[in-house]
Amino acid sequence: MPSPSAPDFSPEFTSELAELLAWRRDVRHFRKEPIGEDRVAELLAVAQLAPSVGNSQPWRFVRVRSAALRETLAGHADTEKAAAAAAMPDAERRSKYAALKLHGIREAPEVIAVFCDDATTTGFGLGAATMPETRAYSVVLAIHTLWLAARARGLGLGWVSIVEPGFVTDLLDVPASWRFIALLCLGHPLEPDVIPELERRGWQPRLDGSSNVSER
């Protein structure tokens, strides 16, 4: 079948895309209203348009539908957060950290654990022989695609990493070759904002990115 001709993206689209990138936020505060099964399916399909090493498509999405599993994950994240706070030597930082909300696992209408199948034979190992970690990078790209696609539809996504990978892997009973990458919360954001929440709460502002670019 012939490919459709490539679209010519307009300057208006480019400027809207820039706005989308600026307004993509990590979201921890959600409204409770559900997303809708069609939308979830659509988003998970769009996420899989991401590039992957050798076209291996190693992403594996596990939708957490059980209320008991969700509560266990939320409790675990709370415990890990408290442990991280206790380990902070600076008292001021510690109390600032304790006041941050770092997950919306209890409220988000959709919680998704994302894994990388390190044993996939899809793609016949191309590229992964020298850099096996590129499979995990591919999964991260799928997550970012999901992040943007969600925001373009008025939804917000929060990445939760304050969990022990082994704990999540055991709890969700996934195959041994699946490496835990992320726990995602998805839903309607309570209050969209163009400024990252950690900047608004005085934890860490965005830096001037020019200092991250060098030349050789």
Ligand X SMILES: Cc1cc2nc3c(=O)[nH]c(=O)nc-3n(C[C@H](O)[C@H](O)[C@H](O)COP(=O)(O)O)c2cc1C
In whole angstroms, how close is the CB of 145 to ligand X at the nearest point?
A: 13
User: Which of 189, 146, 178 minimizes the C-alpha distance to 32?
Assistant: 189
Q: In the complex, which residues of this chain contact ligand X (CB under 6 A)?
A: 25-26, 28, 102-103, 159-162, 196, 198
Least separation in angstroms between residue 26's CB and ligand X is 3
Sign of the CA dihedral with 117 first, then 78, 71, and 186 last: negative
Q: Give the residue with the Cβ less far from ligand X, 70 or 123.
A: 70
Closer CB to ligand X, 66 or 161, in the complex: 161
- C-beta of 55: minimal distance to ligand X in Å? 24
Which tokens in the block code for residue 37? 């099964």
Tokens of 163: 């969990």
Which residue number, 19 or 122, has a Cβ lying nearer to ligand X? Answer: 19
Phi, psi of 165 (to 5 degrees): -50, -45
Pick 141 or 162: Cβ nearer ligand X: 162
Q: What is the dihedral of CA 43, 45, 50, 55, to 10 degrees?
A: 160
For ligand X, give the closer residue by CB, 54 or 184.
Answer: 184
Q: 118 to each of 19, 29, 163, how far by Cα in Å?
A: 35, 33, 20
- As a whole number of Å, the CA-based R_g of the chain is 19
* CA dihedral over 121, 52, 184, 40, signed as positive or negative: negative
Helix (H, G, I), strand (E, B) or coil at 89: coil
We find the least distance from the C-beta atom of residue 28 to ligand X, in angstroms, to be: 5
Find the length of the chain: 216
At closest approach, how far in Å is the CB of 196 from ligand X?
Answer: 3
Min dist. Cβ of residue 88 to ligand X (A): 15
For residue 55, the tally of other CB atoms under 10 A from its CB is 12
Closest CB to ligand X among residues 78, 118: 78
Closest-by-Cβ residue to ligand X is: 196
